[in-house]
């Protein structure tokens, strides 16, 4: 009988999910499940809790309820890894039956998940930017805009306002930063500048000195690397090599969180860059938001909290418009019609699902002894990816 | 059914006791999944795919004694072949994808085999490891094998079987994988019990002795290395269809580690061991993902270390012992 | 010219870190016959411990180096005493076991220190630039070269000029004979293994000046260390030194001159060696 017992036990073991999972169709009284794939481990592990705080704040303000239905937030760790993010997404789509997913962060994870999400009819949103290639799946909310479009205005700014005529770019060799770099390059060259050299250090390069030593002479060096660690390493080795050319970068998201700025210290001061948000934006709605985040986490928000907050609010507004129907066919068009004011600025959507927002130029500054992101030095209104139909 | 059990003196087993494992296996693998919810079905599918992968690894490690630390190179190569085929030609036919994947994996195995079998012992390990990582770098950097804008190939669609008006669903895909699993399993069984298989085990025991007996041991090692690469490629092809994404990770050491674990925990050198190991690991991973996903590598590593130290024969030895005791009791009654 | 000089020094200093990371692995492999794949994880562990001492507690950098080495050494010793000892003359099982420890140690590091990478840190006294013939060059890198040379000399002396080294080599050739001569081989093996792990931990802190510490280092450094062993040859300090510096130079110059091949330069070197002289440039046996 022992063998029979073994078989029975093994079978029970493997079919345990039958008893633990639920596969019933959602009905009106069922809670709406919102999934989130955030990163709590890996190179951008700092950001996961920030996005979560922003999302939770929006849901708390709504009392975790919309149009008479409860909201259940399911958060999974994507570990900054495409394979893990896909696995977690699959689990949430198949087992938990979500129809809305906020995240993941990385561009390649978007590309990996988009076809699957389109099949399963789950609306996914980006977290800090999106890939233009996912537009064709019609299931992607790209916020604040696509990777390239986000940095395009900064390229123009570097030429027109900062007066640089030639540029060298150093971009980490993966989707997100390649996109950023290309955006800056296009903006810069469309305005009349010239990019003399493009360097692509591999992701996780332990040592940037070979690349630093290969940098030729130009008016400015633009760098876009995969996280505060690499950014600090690069700036450090750049300064160690005694290079004097000014630097610009992307001053937002993971690279310039309050914690990262503290670690970077003085060496980050004065480096300007593109950012989609600064906590020092002077509007009543942002001031209210900053206060609420400070109360929740004890720190000022970076763009991570803001993006999480705004994206969750977008979903809530969409659900309000559909009367609580979270199915794709109803929710997708409802979201696209939204026009809102957010802490970051005004927000609307193109018919393809790409958000239309303002973008800013900021820099790191020292204020009252603390290293923070400055208020916007310059604003470009209503950014729209140039490849979208007019 | 030969399971690599140790021989012992016991009353001969009646036909029923011989067939019972087969029937039980058939029921569990063939009938049970159809009754489960679709999410659990996909876990079963994953288990079978890795069972093929693990069995291929056991053939080269458990039987030939070659510890190939980069076996995922062939697994990933099969998967990439499918991905690249779809990416650049849009062809999703299964009847092209599978042979192409197996062929690619075999070619990679031939190359890797040539380079790594130039050395033996510790160096062999290191070289197989480094070659797999090299392949990882190539896949990461070579634009041609990547979907635009990312590392790896996304959006791999389910295979086209060429059957008119056939649409996929989780259980159908499971049965496809099951069919391939049975085929591979049978082929490995035949190899194991052929003169070739015996020669391999001889080489594992003592290569010098086999050389003295006149065997061209290098050739035997090379052949099995390539053959197991081909089987790993089959698993890789199926995995690409299953996962809908292939990425450099599936060429690297993180993926190579899995069949190693499965073989050690399940029992190396047997036919069923790797399958049992695959079942255990895939399902424990699933459960751990529900409860404590961050600690999964720790659990995996810990179980692996424990298995190597104390349970060298793997779970299969325990199961075999239990089975023998039962069959003794019933066998003697039948006689 | 300045670019060349800079690359040269950068390559040598990076190579020194590689030597430190790989020497322990090479010596243990060649002389004790144990392939410790967890070596990279020990490097990483040392780096994390060093960070905790130097940055979290703000203590002296050299104390951090010693602490990193000590912790890694002890963990390495534990692995050897409790686990590896029972797998004598079973190279495959040893490899597998140590590989399992890579996962365990890596995950424990993530558990303790979290997933966030740590930026590079160094002794405040060393953070400055030295003028070398008119070229400003970071002192930390020069110090790394100096430390690498010192460690190399000490290890070489131990290996070739002491009774200890002779005992270890004898024990590898013929354990029974050596113990028959009344030598406590176990103690010597323990010491060698501890030393190798200690150097790995030290390397982790020293290397953190260039690379910081993060949770994937366990595998990244292992790969690099293996390439150093393959190229330089296993079993000798000289081999690791040569291999390390050579790979450091190849990698640095490669990235500088052919940035597109950034990831491949190391592998190319490895494959060339494998095809030409598989036992490595200064390798003792295959």
Contacts of A82 in chain B (CB under 8 A): 150-152, 245, 247, 249
Of B132, B78, B88, B9, which Cα lies nearest the Cα of B240? Answer: B78
Nearest to C19 by CA among C166, C155, C216: C155
Which class for A264: exposed (0-12), middle (13-18), buried (19 or more C-beta within 10 A)?
buried
Interface pTM, i.e. ipTM: 0.81
State the pLDDT at residue B10: 47
Please state the rounded mean pLDDT for residues B135-164.
Answer: 83
pLDDT in tens, B66-121: 888 889 999 999 999 999 999 898 888 888 999 999 999 999 999 999 888 888 77
CB contact under 8 A, B67 and C95: yes
Question: Is C55 among the domain residues?
Answer: yes
| Contact between chains at A211 and C256 (C-beta distance less than 8 A) | yes
Contact B51, B279 (CB under 8 A): yes
Cβ–Cβ contact B123 with C under 8 A: yes
Whole-number percent of chain B with pLDDT over 70: 92
Specify if C283 maps to a domain: no
Q: Which residues of B touch C231 (CB under 8 A)?
A: none
Confidence of residue A206 (pLDDT cuts 50, 70, 90): low
Other CB atoms within a 10 A radius of the CB of residue C18 amount to 29
Which class for A25: exposed (0-12), middle (13-18), buried (19 or more C-beta within 10 A)? exposed
pLDDT at A269 over 50: yes
Partner C contacted by B211 (CB < 8 A):
no
Is residue B279 within 8 A of residue C85, CB to CB? The reply is: no
Band of residue C56 on the pLDDT scale cut at 50, 70, 90: confident
Asked whether residue A364 carries a pLDDT value surpassing 50, the answer given is yes
How far apart CA B162 and CA C70 sit, in angstroms, is 63
> Per-residue confidence at B17, pLDDT binned at 50, 70, 90?
low
Q: What is the pLDDT of residues A287-315, one digit of tens each?
A: 999 999 999 988 888 888 899 999 999 99
DSSP 8-state class, residue A24: P
Cβ burial of B67 (10 Å; 0-12, 13-18, 19+) is: buried
Contacts of B61 in chain C (CB under 8 A): 92
Classify residue C282: in a domain, yes or no.
no
Contact B326 A3 (CB under 8 A): yes
SS (H, E, C) A59-70: HHHCCCEECCEE
User: Is the pLDDT assigned to residue C12 strictly greater than 90?
Assistant: yes
Question: Is there a domain that residue C285 lies in?
Answer: no
Inter-chain touch C110–A41, beta carbons under 8 Å: yes
- Tell me the pLDDT tens digit for each residue of C150-172: 999 998 888 788 887 787 777 66
C182 backbone φψ class: left, alpha, beta (φ>0; ψ -120 to 50)? left
Task: Name the minimum distance, in Å, from the CA of B139 to any CA of chain C.
Answer: 11
DSSP helix/strand/coil, C223: helix
Kindly tell me the burial class for residue A360, based on how many C-beta atoms sit within 10 Å of its own C-beta (0-12, 13-18, 19 or more): buried
Parallel, antiparallel or unpaired: strands A247-250 and A220-224: parallel
How far A40 CA sits from the closest chain B CA (Å)? 10
Q: Determine the straight-line distance between the first and last CA of chain A, rounded to whole angstroms.
A: 73
Number of domains in chain C: 1
| Mean pLDDT for all residues in chain A | 82
Mean pLDDT, range B314-319, rounded to an integer: 74
| C11 and C251 Cβ atoms separated by less than 8 Å | yes
Q: For residue B202, name the pLDDT band (cuts at 50, 70, 90).
A: confident
Tokens of B75: 């697994």
**Is C284 within a domain?**
no
Instruction: Decide if C173 is inside a domain.
Output: yes
- The Cα of A175 is separated from the nearest Cα of chain B by a number of Å equal to 5
- Determine the pLDDT at residue B18: 64
C-beta separation of A36 from A76 below 8 A = yes
Least Cα distance to C165 among C27, C7, C13 occurs for: C27
Mutation target vs B (from A78, A92, A112, A137; most B CBs, 10 A cutoff): A112
Q: Is residue C122 part of a domain?
A: yes
Residue in chain A lying closest to B24 (CA): A7
DSSP, collapsed to helix, strand or coil, labels residue B163 as: coil
Q: Flag if B326 and A2 touch (Cβ within 8 Å).
A: yes
DSSP, res B143: G
Q: Is the pLDDT of residue A262 over 60?
A: yes
Domain extent, residue C24, equals: 2-276
Chain B interface test: which of C89, C103, C108 (most B C-beta within 10 Å): C103
**End-to-end distance of chain B based on CA atoms, in angstroms?**
19
C86 touches chain B (CB under 8 A): yes
Task: Tell me the C-alpha distance between B242 and C196, whole Å.
Answer: 44
Per residue in B243-271, pLDDT (tens digit) is 988 989 899 888 999 999 899 888 888 88
SS3 label, residue B137:
helix
The DSSP annotation for A224-268 comes to E-SSHHHHHHHHHHHHHTT--S-EEEE-SGGGG-HHHHHHHGGGG
Size of interface B-C (CB pairs under 8 A): 109
- Whether B279 and B286 have beta carbons less than 8 Å apart is answered as no
Q: What residue spans of chain A are helical by DSSP H?
A: 2-20, 47-61, 82-91, 107-120, 147-160, 175-191, 209-214, 228-240, 258-264, 284-297, 303-321, 328-336
Tell me the chain C residues in contact with residue B312 when contact means C-beta distances shorter than 8 Å.
93
The answer to whether the CB atoms of B298 and C99 lie below 8 A apart is: no
Best C13, C259, C266 member to test A by mutation, with max A CBs in 10 Å, is C259
Residue A153 tokens read as: 């205005």
Over 70: is that where the pLDDT of C284 sits? no
Residues A68-127: pLDDT tens digits?
Answer: 888 999 998 887 788 888 888 988 888 888 889 998 888 778 888 888 888 888 999 988
Taking only the tens place, the pLDDT of each residue in A227-244 is 777 787 788 788 877 788
CATH number at residue C13: 1.10.3470
C-alpha span between A382 and A350 (Å, rounded): 11
Structural domain contains residue C49:
yes
Lowest-confidence pick of A2-11, A68-77, A324-333, B44-53: A2-11
Q: What pairs with residue C118 in β-bridges? A: C213
pLDDT of residue C105: 93
Beta strands in C100-202 (DSSP E): 129-132, 135-138
| A7 pLDDT more than 80 | no
Summarize the confidence of residues A314-326 as an average pLDDT: 88
Residue C132 has pLDDT above 80, yes or no: no
Nearest chain A Cα to C253, which residue? A210
In whole numbers, what is the pLDDT of chain B averaged over residues?
Answer: 84
Q: What is the pTM of this model?
A: 0.83
pLDDT reported for residue A232: 76
Q: Is the pLDDT of residue A208 over 90?
A: no
* Local confidence band at A11 (pLDDT 50, 70, 90 cut-offs): low
Between B28 and B224, where is the model more confident? B224
Per the model's pLDDT, the better-predicted residue between A286 and A382 turns out to be A286
Contact residues of C toward A, CB < 8 A: 3, 6-7, 10, 14, 110, 114-120, 129, 136, 138, 210-212, 214-216, 220, 251-257, 259-260, 262-263
Residues in B closer than 8 angstroms to C264, CB to CB, are 134, 137-138, 141
Nearest Cα to Cα of residue A141 among A151, A133, A130: A130
CA-nearest residue to C9 within chain A is A209
Chain B nearest-CA residue for A5: B322
Interface of B to A at Cβ within 8 Å reads 24, 28, 32, 36-40, 42-44, 140-141, 147-152, 154-155, 157, 243-245, 247, 249-250, 279, 283, 286-287, 289-290, 293-294, 319, 322-323, 325-326
d(CA A349, CA A341): 12
Say if residue B222's pLDDT is above 60.
yes
């Amino acid at each position: 009988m022992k063998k029979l017992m073994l078989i029975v036990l093994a079978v029970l073991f493997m079919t345990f999910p039958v008893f633990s999972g639920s596969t019933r169709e959602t009905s009106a009284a069922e809670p709406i499940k919102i999934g989130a794939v955030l990163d709590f481990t890996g190179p951008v592990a700092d950001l996961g809790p920030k996005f979560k705080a922003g999302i939770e704040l929006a849901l708390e303000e709504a009392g975790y309820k919309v149009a008479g239905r409860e909201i259940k937030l399911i958060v999974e760790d994507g570990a900054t890894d495409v394979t893990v993010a896909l696995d977690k997404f699959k689990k949430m789509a198949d087992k938990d039956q979500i129809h809305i997913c906020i995240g993941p962060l990385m561009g390649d994870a978007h590309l990996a998940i988009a076809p699957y999400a389109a099949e399963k009819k789950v609306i996914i949103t980006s977290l800090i930017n999106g890939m233009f290639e996912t537009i064709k799946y019609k299931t992607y909310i790209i916020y604040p805009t696509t990777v390239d479009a986000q940095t395009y205005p900064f390229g123009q700014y570097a030429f027109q306002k900062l007066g640089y005529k030639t540029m060298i770019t150093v971009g980490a060799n993966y989707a997100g930063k390649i996109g950023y770099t290309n955006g800056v390059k296009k903006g810069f060259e469309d305005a009349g500048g010239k990019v003399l050299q493009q360097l692509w250090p591999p992701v996780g390069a332990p040592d940037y000195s070979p690349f630093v030593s290969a940098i030729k002479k130009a008016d400015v060096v633009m760098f876009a690397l995969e996280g505060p660690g690499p950014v600090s390493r690069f700036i450090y080795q750049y300064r160690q090599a005694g290079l004097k050319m000014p630097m610009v970068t992307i001053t937002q998201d993971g690279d310039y969180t309050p914690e990262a700025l503290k670690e970077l210290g003085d060496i980050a001061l004065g480096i300007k860059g593109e950012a989609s948000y600064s906590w020092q934006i002077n509007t009543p709605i942002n001031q209210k938001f900053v206060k609420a985040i400070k109360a929740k986490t004890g720190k000022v928000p970076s763009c991570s909290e803001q993006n999480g907050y705004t994206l969750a609010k977008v979903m809530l507004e969409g659900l309000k418009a559909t009367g609580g129907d979270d199915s794709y066919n109803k929710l997708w068009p409802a979201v696209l019609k939204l026009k809102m004011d957010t802490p970051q600025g005004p927000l609307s959507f193109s018919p393809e699902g790409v958000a239309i927002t303002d973008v800013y130029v900021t820099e790191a500054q020292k204020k009252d002894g603390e290293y923070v992101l400055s208020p916007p030095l310059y604003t470009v209104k209503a950014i729209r990816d140039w490849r979208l139909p007019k | 059914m030969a399971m690599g059990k140790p021989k012992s003196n016991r009353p001969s087993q009646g036909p029923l006791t011989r067939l019972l494992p087969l029937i039980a296996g058939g029921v569990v693998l063939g009938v049970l999944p159809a009754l489960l919810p679709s999410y659990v079905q996909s876990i079963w599918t994953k288990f079978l795919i890795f069972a093929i992968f693990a069995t291929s690894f056991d053939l080269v490690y458990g039987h030939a004694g070659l510890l190939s630390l980069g076996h995922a190179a062939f697994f990933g190569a099969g998967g990439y072949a499918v991905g690249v085929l779809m990416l650049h030609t849009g062809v999703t036919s299964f009847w092209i994808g599978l042979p192409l994947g197996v062929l690619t994996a075999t070619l990679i195995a031939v190359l890797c085999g040539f380079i790594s079998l130039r050395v033996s012992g510790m160096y062999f390990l290191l070289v197989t490891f480094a070659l797999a990582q090299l392949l990882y770098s190539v896949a990461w950097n070579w634009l041609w094998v990547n979907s635009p804008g990312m590392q790896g190939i996304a959006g791999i669609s389910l295979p086209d079987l060429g059957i008119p008006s056939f649409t996929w669903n989780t259980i159908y895909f499971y049965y496809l994988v099951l069919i391939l699993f049975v085929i591979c399993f049978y082929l490995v069984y035949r190899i194991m019990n052929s003169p070739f298989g015996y020669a391999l085990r001889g080489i594992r025991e003592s290569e010098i002795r086999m050389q003295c007996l006149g065997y061209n041991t290098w050739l035997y090692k090379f052949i099995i290395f390539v053959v197991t690469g081909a089987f790993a490629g089959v698993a890789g092809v199926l995995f690409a269809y299953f996962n809908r994404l292939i990425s450099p990770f599936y060429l690297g050491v993180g993926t190579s580690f899995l069949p190693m674990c499965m073989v050690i925990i399940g029992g190396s050198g047997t036919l069923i061991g790797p399958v049992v190991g695959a079942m255990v690991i895939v399902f424990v991973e699933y459960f751990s993902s529900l409860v404590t996903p961050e600690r999964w590598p720790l659990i995996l590593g810990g179980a692996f270390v424990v298995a190597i130290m104390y349970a060298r024969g793997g779970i299969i030895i325990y199961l075999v012992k239990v089975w023998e005791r039962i069959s003794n009791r019933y066998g003697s009654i039948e006689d | 010219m300045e670019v060349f000089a800079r690359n040269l020094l950068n390559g040598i200093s990076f190579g020194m870190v590689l030597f430190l990371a790989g020497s322990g692995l090479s010596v243990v492999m060649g002389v004790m016959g144990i392939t410790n794949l967890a070596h990279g994880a020990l490097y990483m562990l040392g780096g994390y411990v060093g960070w905790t001492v130097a940055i979290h507690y703000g203590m002296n950098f050299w104390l951090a180096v010693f602490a990193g080495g000590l912790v890694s050494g002890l963990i390495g010793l534990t692995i050897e005493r409790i686990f590896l000892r029972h797998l004598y003359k079973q190279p495959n099982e040893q490899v597998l076991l140590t590989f399992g420890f890579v996962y365990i140690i890596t995950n424990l590091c993530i558990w303790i220190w979290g997933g966030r990478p740590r930026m590079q840190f160094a002794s405040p006294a060393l953070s400055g630039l030295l003028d070398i013939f008119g070229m400003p060059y970071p002192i930390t890198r020069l110090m790394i070269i100096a430390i690498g040379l010192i460690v190399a000399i000490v290890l070489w002396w131990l290996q070739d000029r002491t009774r200890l080294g002779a005992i270890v080599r004898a024990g590898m050739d013929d354990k029974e004979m050596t113990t028959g001569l009344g030598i406590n081989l176990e103690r010597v093996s323990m010491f060698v293994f501890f030393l190798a792990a200690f150097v790995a931990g030290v390397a982790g802190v020293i290397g953190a000046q260039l690379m910081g510490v993060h949770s994937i280092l366990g595998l990244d450094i292992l790969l690099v260390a293996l390439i150093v062993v393959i190229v330089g040859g296993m079993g000798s300090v000289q081999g690791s030194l040569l291999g390390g510096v050579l790979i450091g130079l190849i990698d640095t110059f490669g990235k500088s001159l052919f940035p597109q091949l950034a990831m491949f330069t190391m592998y190319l070197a490895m494959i060339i060696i494998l095809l030409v002289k598989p036992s490595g440039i200064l390798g003792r046996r295959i």
